[in-house]
Structure 1
Amino acid sequence: MLDIYHFSNPLSTDCLKTEERLLQLSYDLSERVHLRFIPLLDHHLVAKLTPSYLRDSTTDNNDQKSCHIAMDYKAAQVEGNKKARRFLINLQHALTSQAYSLALVTNIAETARLNVDDFLVNREATETFQAVLEDQALAKQMLSKADPCIAIDDPTAIDTQLLTNLSIDNLIATFAPHCAKSLAPDILRQHLSI
């Protein structure tokens, strides 16, 4: 099984494109894949992050907005990774043209077929907050700096591979060996040119 981690800025349209490409790649790979999206938070902010900080903070600046998105994503993950990934991508798309709000998040949760009542409780839960902190600790452990990247943990390789160049060409070069033999690189390029 291939473990793929996408450490991303949840407000970046480039990271959104990469997430969509990774979703497509997960269907094209010939082996089982465990795909995890991990929204990166500013490490200074993580150091002072508390549940009350999140409850009392607004979403006026991008750091605070990113924290709320990370909490929303983790709350969605309670219902499964596939639904959570769809929720995150839909939320990121919506944020390109709309302001972050509880109404928007609730609407996206409904669209992703989440149990909205449970989701609203989970996004305020201490367990969700702890899960966000665990993700940030994993990012700190795996990454030398907090830049968006992909980490690939391949059981046949000795070290975890980090990709900071997230271009289509680099994704093809990296993942082509893991694709079905019948999938030519030009077809893979078409799949990733979304």
Structure 2
Amino acid sequence: MIEIYLFINPLDEQSLAAEKKYLDIIKQETEKIHFRLIPVLNPRVIQNYLVANNITTHNLSYRNELFSTIYSACLDLKAVQLQGKQIGRAFLFELQKRVGGEQHVYSKELVTDILQSIDVDLDLYEADRASDLVVDFFKIDQQIAQEMNVDSFADAVIFNYRCDRDFGVLVDDNTPNEIIYQLFETDCGFEKYYGTDDDNRLHLY
């Protein structure tokens, strides 16, 4: 079995593109692949996001607002995911499309509109969204991200249990598909890519 952990920003079009890329890759595989989408948020991720998007890193007010907005969206996602993986993905994709792609402003009204469009149980969502359980699930996600050394949105960690590799491989958003396919092979042939001048795009942890 293969496991893919993809760490995402629930408001970002880049993360949506990464999700679609991995789903397309998974469709080409006959092996069972367990795919997990995990919202990630920490100061290092925010710093790298600002740098990657040529946004000043010295505006503390903007940084705090960005952090707060993404945090709220992460809790929205965790609350919806409690109603099922598929409906959670539907919510995530629509939120990323509207905010990241169509430049809608993230708001409670926007979230409610999306929830209604995909037939989420609103009463259940509201109860879950206000619960400590959702915050606890979010904290578990952040612990996973920390343990896997994730430092950017759209990073992924791939485990391949079909070979003797007893560790995951962390790849960033720029990792070519051919390397990802190498990570799925039983002979663990990815090692030929590791340790080259391009090893900044492939990490072991």
Which category of TM-score, normalised to the shorter sequence, fits these structures?
A: 0.7 to 0.9
Aligned pair in 2 of structure 1 residues 139, 38: CA closer, same or farther (>3 Å)?
same
**In structure 2, which of residues 69, 75, 78 is the aligned counterpart of residue 71 of structure 1?**
75
- Aligned 8 A contact 2:10 2:77 in 1: no
Are 1:163 and 2:139 counterparts? no
CA contact (8 A) 1:2 1:31 kept: yes
Q: How far apart are residue 43 of structure 1 and its match?
A: 4.1
Query: Which residue is equivalent to 1:133?
Result: 139
Instruction: Give deviations 1:146-192, integer Å, cap 9, x for gaps.
Output: 2231101111222201111435xx1243126749xxxxxxxxxxxxx
Assess, with a 3 A threshold, how the Cα gap between structure 1 residues 90 and 178 changes in structure 2: closer, same or farther: same
Contact 2:98 2:104 (C-alpha < 8 Å) held by counterparts: yes
Question: What is residue 95 of structure 2 aligned with on the other side?
Answer: 91
Q: How do 1:138-153 and structure 2 match up within 5 A?
A: 138-143=144-149, 145-148=150-153, 149-153=155-159
Task: Give the whole-Å Cα distance in 1 for the aligned partners of 2:104 and 2:183.
Answer: 39
Return closer, same or farther for 1:31/1:73 CA change in 2, 3 Å cut-off.
same
Distance 1:44 1:175, change over 3 A: closer
| Equivalent pair of 1:2/1:152 in contact (CA under 8 Å) | yes
TM-score (norm 2): 0.71
Counterpart for residue 37 of structure 1: 37
Change (3 A) 1:165 1:21: closer
Unaligned segments of structure 1, at least 5 residues:
46-59, 180-194
Counterpart Cα distance in 2 of 1:17 and 1:6: 12
Pair 1:113–1:162, CA change in 2 (3 A):
same
Equivalent pair of 2:10/2:95 in contact (CA under 8 Å): no
2-side partners of 1:136 and 1:4: how far apart? 16
Instruction: Tell whether the 8 Å contact from 1:40 to 1:146 is kept in structure 2 after alignment.
Output: no
Q: Which structure has the higher relative contact order (CA within 8 Å, separation 6+)?
A: 1
Change (3 A) 1:108 1:172: farther
RMSD between aligned alpha carbons? 2.3
Question: 1:113 and 1:24, CA in 2 relative to 1: closer, same or farther beyond 3 A?
Answer: farther
Instruction: Pick closer, same or farther for the CA change 1:108–1:175 going to 2, 3 Å.
Output: farther
User: Aligned pairs, how many?
Assistant: 162
Residues 58-115 of structure 1 deviation map (CA, whole Å, 9 limit, x = unaligned): xx82111110111011111111222211211110111132111111111212223321
Q: Unaligned regions of 5+ residues in structure 2, if any?
A: 46-63, 186-205
The TM-score with structure 1 as length reference comes to: 0.74
One-letter amino acid of the counterpart of residue 94, structure 2: N
Structure 2 CA distance for partners of 1:28 and 1:13, relative to 1, 3 Å:
same
CA distance in 2, matches of 1:99, 1:12: 12
- Percent of aligned positions that are identical: 25
Q: Which amino acid aligns with 1:150?
A: A
